């Protein structure tokens, strides 16, 4: 019998990883309090309001606007910075569809560009090259928790008078040069979907320091209302993006653990960097020295097939899953998604844009392609474990390498 778990051998992972989501009496008590209060709705409530303040404060922001999910957070950010029909917004090709679909929702064209080969975050040179007179904003994604190059992106945004939005769905509590991400640009957006670094099942928030942005975004998230005005006055186009009191209460409790959990994930991530650095053919996402804390939504690494008997990434993942090491799917390139390739996205655009040729459709973004098809992601909860967990991950990979020929 082979030693590989895939062929009936013992699994390399002997003790279970921590479970996710995590909760204790803090969530239980918070939910009971909302239940008994009979105030389940955000508008007269106190829990979501408190969460907005606490989360914004934690990220060094003046304002937080809690919304229904991370996709809606980006949609609201587009409203806040006035992106609309006929505008262009530069986004990374390597991200979840929401980064681009929120731009389409505003009637603007998402212009995809490549990411850097080492951090998998948007390439600032590619951003500069994609700027046109119609460009209104740049959305950076802090991939897997690792901040994009905020020094360069802030400078580019300032120089060209563009709004910089940080899609921080992977990066709660991540730091760049010792400061938490989210307010380097005009606004930061976060998701609280169940796999994220803190969760209420669904949910999102937008943080900002900008008064005008906040006014626009808050109004858009609440049916075009303005604070202090009559409930049935609606001043702008808006919709209902409000978060419920249940979620606000749970998120207040989740936030109390975020700092310690982030420190732990960062520490375990760096331990695993060292261990995997000794295995030929495995290259972890590079930690930029300016990233002082990686929230580590995903531990991303590249597998060189030539060091693993030529097996595909999919085969590596199959063997790794069997050994008890969980994985999370990498993203396909956004411009290759059906909605872009079949032309459906054009229905959202200004006629000038809808009829134009879009070079990104035919372009090859080599670093995105490599990340999409050859990178492997380990989900964040694995990094809430201890050093033994990291040892077992490394041991599983050494085992797969030793038996790679059997997988070929
Ligand atoms: C980078 C990125 N942006 C946006 C989102 C959208 O968040 P949600 O699923 O809460 O709508 C996600 C969630 O998966 C994401 O990973």
The model's pLDDT over 57-93, given as tens digits with 9 standing for 90+, comes to 999 999 999 999 999 999 999 999 999 999 999 999 9
The mean per-residue pLDDT over the stretch 373-390 comes to 97
CATH classification for the domain delimited by 25-254, as one of 3.30.2350.10, 3.40.640.10, 2.60.40.420, 3.40.50.300: 3.40.640.10
* Under 8 Å between Cβ of 247 and 192: yes
Please give the pLDDT value at position 116: 98
**92 contacts 371 by C-beta, under 8 angstroms:** no
Cβ-Cβ contacts under 8 Å for 87 (sequence gap 6 or more): 106, 107, 108, 109, 134, 135, 136, 137
**How sure is the predictor about 2, in pLDDT bands with cuts at 50, 70 and 90?**
low
48 CB under 6 A from ligand 1?
no
Give the active site residue among 123, 167, 288, 389.
167
Evaluate if residue 1 carries a pLDDT over 90: no
Would you call 253 helix, strand, or coil by DSSP? helix
User: What pLDDT, in 10s, does the model give residues 283-295?
Assistant: 999 999 999 999 9
Q: Which two tokens stand for residue 171?
A: 């990066």
Residue entry with tokens 């922001």: 61
Q: What are the domain boundaries of the chain?
A: 25-254
* Arithmetic mean of pLDDT, 110-122: 98
Helix (H, G, I), strand (E, B) or coil at 177: coil
pLDDT at 51: 99
Mean pLDDT of 206-232: 97
User: Rounded to the nearest whole angstrom, what is the distance from the C-alpha of residue 58 to the centroid of ligand 1?
Assistant: 20
**Ligand 1 pocket: which of 169, 192, 332 to mutate (most atoms within 8 A of CB):** 169
Q: Report helix, strand and coil shares of the chain as percent, to nearest 5.
A: 45, 15, 40
Question: Would you call 222 a catalytic residue per the annotation?
Answer: no
What is the rounded distance in angstroms from the CA atom of residue 190 to the CA atom of residue 197?
Answer: 10
Long-range pairs for 276-282: beta carbons < 8 A, 24 or more residues apart:
276/301, 276/394, 276/397, 278/394, 279/394, 279/397, 279/398, 279/401, 280/304, 280/307, 280/401, 281/305, 281/306, 281/307, 281/308, 281/401, 282/307, 282/397
**Residue 201 has what DSSP assignment?**
S
**Tokens linked to 98:** 């929401």
User: 47-58 and 25-37 are packed helices; what angle lies between their axes, rounded to 10 degrees?
Assistant: 140
User: What pLDDT score does 13 carry?
Assistant: 96
Does ligand 1 lie within 6 Å of residue 239's CB atom?
A: no
Query: Would the pLDDT of 202 be above 90?
Result: yes
- Give pLDDT, residue 23: 98
β-sheet bridge partners, residue 240: 222
User: Edge to edge, what strands does the sheet with 298-303 contain?
Assistant: 282-284, 298-303, 375-379
Neighbours of 291 (CB within 10 A): 26
- Asked whether residue 151 carries a pLDDT value surpassing 90, the answer given is yes
pTM above 0.95, yes or no: yes
Query: Is 180 among the catalytic positions?
Result: no
pLDDT band of 239, cuts 50, 70, 90: very high
Q: What is the mean pLDDT of the chain?
A: 97
Encoded tokens for 21: 């989501």
Q: Is the distance from the beta carbon of residue 313 to the nearest atom of ligand 1 less than 6 Å?
A: no
pLDDT band at 400 (very low <50, low <70, confident <90, very high): very high
């Amino acid at each position: 019998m082979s030693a590989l778990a895939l062929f009936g051998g013992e699994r390399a992972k002997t003790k279970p990883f921590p479970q996710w989501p995590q909760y204790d009496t803090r969530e239980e008590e918070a939910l009971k309090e909302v239940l008994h209060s009979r105030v389940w709705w955000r508008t007269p409530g106190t829990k979501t309001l408190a969460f907005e303040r606490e989360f914004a404060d934690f990220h060094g922001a003046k304002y937080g606007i809690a919304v229904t999910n991370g996709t809606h957070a980006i949609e609201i950010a587009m409203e806040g910075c006035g992106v609309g029909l006929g505008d262009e917004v530069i986004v990374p090709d390597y991200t979840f569809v929401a980064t681009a679909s929120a731009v389409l929702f505003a009637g603007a064209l998402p212009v995809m560009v490549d990411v850097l080969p080492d951090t998998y975050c948007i390439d600032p040179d590619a951003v500069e090259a994609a700027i046109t007179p119609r460009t209104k904003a740049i959305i950076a994604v802090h991939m897997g928790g690792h901040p994009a190059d905020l020094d360069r992106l802030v400078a580019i945004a300032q120089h060209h008078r563009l709004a910089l939005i940080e899609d921080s769905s992977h990066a709660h509590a991540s730091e760049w040069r010792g400061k938490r991400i989210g307010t380097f640009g005009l606004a930061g957006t976060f998701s609280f979907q169940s796999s994220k670094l803190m969760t209420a099942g669904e949910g999102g928030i937008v943080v900002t320091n900008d008064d005008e942005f906040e006014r626009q975004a808050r109004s858009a998230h609440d049916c075009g209302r303005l604070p202090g005005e009559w409930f049935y006055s609606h001043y702008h186009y808006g919709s209902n993006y409000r978060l419920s009191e249940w979620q606000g209460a749970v998120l207040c409790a989740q936030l109390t653990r975020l700092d310690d959990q982030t420190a732990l994930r960062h520490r375990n991530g760096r331990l695993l960097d060292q261990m995997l650095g000794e295995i030929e053919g495995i290259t972890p996402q590079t930690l930029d020295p300016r990233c002082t804390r990686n929230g580590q939504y995903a531990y991303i690494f590249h597998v060189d097939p030539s060091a693993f008997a030529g097996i595909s990434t999919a085969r590596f993942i199959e063997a790794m899953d069997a050994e008890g090491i969980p994985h999370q799917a990498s993203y396909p390139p956004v411009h290759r998604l059906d909605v872009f390739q079949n032309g459906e996205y054009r229905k959202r655009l200004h006629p000038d844009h809808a009829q134009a040729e879009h070079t990104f459709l035919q372009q090859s973004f080599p670093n995105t392609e490599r990340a999409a098809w050859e990178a492997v992601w380990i989900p964040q909860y694995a990094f809430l474990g201890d050093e033994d967990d990291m040892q077992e991950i490394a041991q599983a990979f050494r085992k797969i390498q030793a038996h790679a020929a059997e997988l070929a």
